Structures are given as structure tokens and as C-alpha cells.
């Protein structure tokens, strides 16, 4: 058995790294955070890579890129207490990660073809756009001028990612759609909690709630992407296209 592809083992280690990160944040132990936080995305990225490489395509490369830039963002945000500029670096890295995820999800859509839009997907997308617009509008009013534009651009990128996840409905397998969409919504929730805590009002639970929702988001997106590419029907379809 290849331990690099073993799902229970890798997701168990991912969970332990998440718990370690939360413990480091809650206790204020930077050393624990420095070890465990990067380890989360290293484990998840490795598990995703070794499970998807035999069916690698543009979609899996974009998801892998999203995981990589998320890792860069995590590392930058770990050092925001040293220099506030690291917050902007982290924001930029996560914005690129969101765009990579969005492009990957749109790749799913174009692979199947632009069929008639599903009304359920449209309703979800409209809801996410509305939430993104009103939350970002409120947020921009309270942040300082130098970072108002980056924050607004980031809000647009994560909204685009969630909209792309919604429009996968009917163009991928139900389990893959559900996992990715729920993951995208958890990502929005995590970033919303982080924004409220940093710019609006301190949240007593932010040291663990931001990380829990973020960890759930990343693992669901990665797992949902694997559900898409490893489904036997999808593998047969790709083989037929190559022949």
C-alpha cells in the first residue's frame, strides 16, 4: 500500500496538524503554529497529488496550484505579527489560490459544455454574489485606505470561486459537486470570520473558528476534486477522448 495515497492515514495526519495549529493559536505558541500550519497544506497537497497524478489534466493542475498558493498564504499570515505587510502578501497568495480554484471549476464546466443553466445553481450563485457584494461593501467602509482595494479584489475573487463551484451542478458527479460547493462555502465563512475579527470587532472564538472552517474548506475542495477525476465514468470518458 502506498502511504502517500492512503486516504485515512493522510486525512488523519491532516486533522492532527489542524489540531496542532489550533493549539498553537489558542496558546500563543508560535513554534507549534510554525510547524503545524504549513504541515496541513503539505499533507493535503501531497495526498491530492499522488492520488490524481495518473489522471492529471488542467483541472487537477489548477487545484494543485490552489493548494500551493494557499500554503504560501498560510506561511505569510503566520508572520503578520512581525510585519503587517505579510498580511498583504498572504491576501495576494490566497487571491491567486481562489482564482486557480475558480478556473479549475470553470474547466469542469467547459469540459462538459455550456448546457442550459440549472436554476438551483443560478440561485446559489446569485446568493453568493449578493453576500459578497454586501459584506465587501461593509468591510471596505471600515478598513484603512491603503488596503481597501486589495480587500475588495480578494472579496471578488472568493465570490467568483464560490459562483464557479455552484455552476458545476449538473456538469460533474453529485458527490463531487456537493463536496466542492460546501468547501467553497466554508472558505467564504472562514474568510468572513477572519475579516470581522481583524477589521470590525474581535471575536472571542476566532483563534479556533477561523482555522476549523478553513481546514474543512480545503479538505472538502481537494476531496471533491478527486471525486471528479477518479470516478470510473470520468476515467472512461477521458480514455475515449484520447483514443
Q: Can you read off the three cell numbers belonging to residue 212?
A: 476549523
Q: Is residue 48, in this structure, part of any structural domain at all?
A: no
Domain residues for the domain of 187 are: 58-242
- The per-residue pLDDT for 222 is 98
| Residue 210 φ/ψ, nearest 5 degrees | -65, -45
Residue-wise pLDDT for 6-52, tens only, equals: 999 999 999 999 999 999 999 999 999 999 999 999 999 999 999 99
Local structure of 171: helix, strand or coil: coil
Q: Say which DSSP state 116 is in.
A: P
- The per-residue pLDDT for 241 is 43
Q: Is residue 12, in this structure, part of any structural domain at all?
A: no
Instruction: State pTM to two decimals.
Output: 0.92
Q: Is residue 105, in this structure, part of any structural domain at all?
A: yes
- The per-residue pLDDT for 234 is 62
Q: Is residue 15, in this structure, part of any structural domain at all?
A: no
- The per-residue pLDDT for 121 is 92
Q: Which residues of the chain have pLDDT under 70?
A: 1, 113-117, 232-243
Q: Say which DSSP state 100 is in.
A: H
Count the domains in the chain: 1
- The per-residue pLDDT for 233 is 65
Q: Is residue 133, in this structure, part of any structural domain at all?
A: yes
- The per-residue pLDDT for 54 is 79
- The per-residue pLDDT for 83 is 84
Query: What is the crossing angle of helices 145-166 and 119-142, to 10°?
Result: 170
Q: Is residue 13, in this structure, part of any structural domain at all?
A: no
Q: Can you read off the three cell numbers belonging to residue 235?
A: 476515467
Q: Is residue 212, in this structure, part of any structural domain at all?
A: yes
Q: Is residue 4, in this structure, part of any structural domain at all?
A: no
Closest alpha carbon to 64 in 34, 95, 100: 100
Amino acid at each position: 500500500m502506498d502511504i502517500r495515497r492512503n486516504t485515512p492515514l493522510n486525512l488523519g495526519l491532516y486533522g492532527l496538524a489542524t489540531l496542532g495549529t489550533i493549539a498553537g493559536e489558542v496558546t500563543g505558541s508560535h513554534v507549534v503554529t510554525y510547524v503545524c500550519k504549513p504541515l496541513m497544506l503539505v499533507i493535503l497537497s501531497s495526498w491530492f497529488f499522488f492520488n490524481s497524478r495518473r489522471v492529471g489534466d488542467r483541472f487537477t493542475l489548477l487545484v494543485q496550484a490552489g493548494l500551493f498558493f494557499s500554503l504560501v498564504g498560510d506561511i505569510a499570515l503566520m508572520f503578520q505579527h512581525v510585519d503587517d505587510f505579510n498580511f498583504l502578501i498572504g491576501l495576494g497568495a490566497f487571491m491567486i489560490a481562489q482564482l486557480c480554484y475558480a478556473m479549475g471549476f470553470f474547466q469542469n464546466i467547459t469540459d462538459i459544455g455550456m448546457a442550459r443553466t440549472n436554476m438551483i445553481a443560478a440561485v446559489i450563485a446569485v446568493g453568493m454574489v449578493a453576500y459578497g457584494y454586501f459584506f465587501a461593501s461593509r468591510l471596505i467602509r471600515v478598513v484603512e485606505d491603503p488596503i481597501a482595494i486589495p480587500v475588495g479584489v480578494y472579496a471578488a475573487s472568493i465570490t467568483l470561486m464560490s459562483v464557479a463551484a455552484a455552476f458545476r451542478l449538473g456538469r460533474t458527479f453529485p458527490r463531487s459537486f456537493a463536496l466542492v460547493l460546501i468547501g467553497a462555502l466554508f472558505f467564504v465563512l472562514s474568510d468572513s470570520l477572519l475579516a470581522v475579527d481583524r477589521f470590525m470587532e474581535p471575536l472571542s472564538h476566532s483563534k479556533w473558528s477561523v482555522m476549523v472552517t478553513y481546514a474543512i474548506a480545503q479538505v472538502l475542495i481537494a476531496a471533491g476534486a478527486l471525486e471528479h477525476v477518479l470516478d470510473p465514468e470520468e476515467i472512461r470518458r477521458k480514455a475515449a477522448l484520447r483514443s
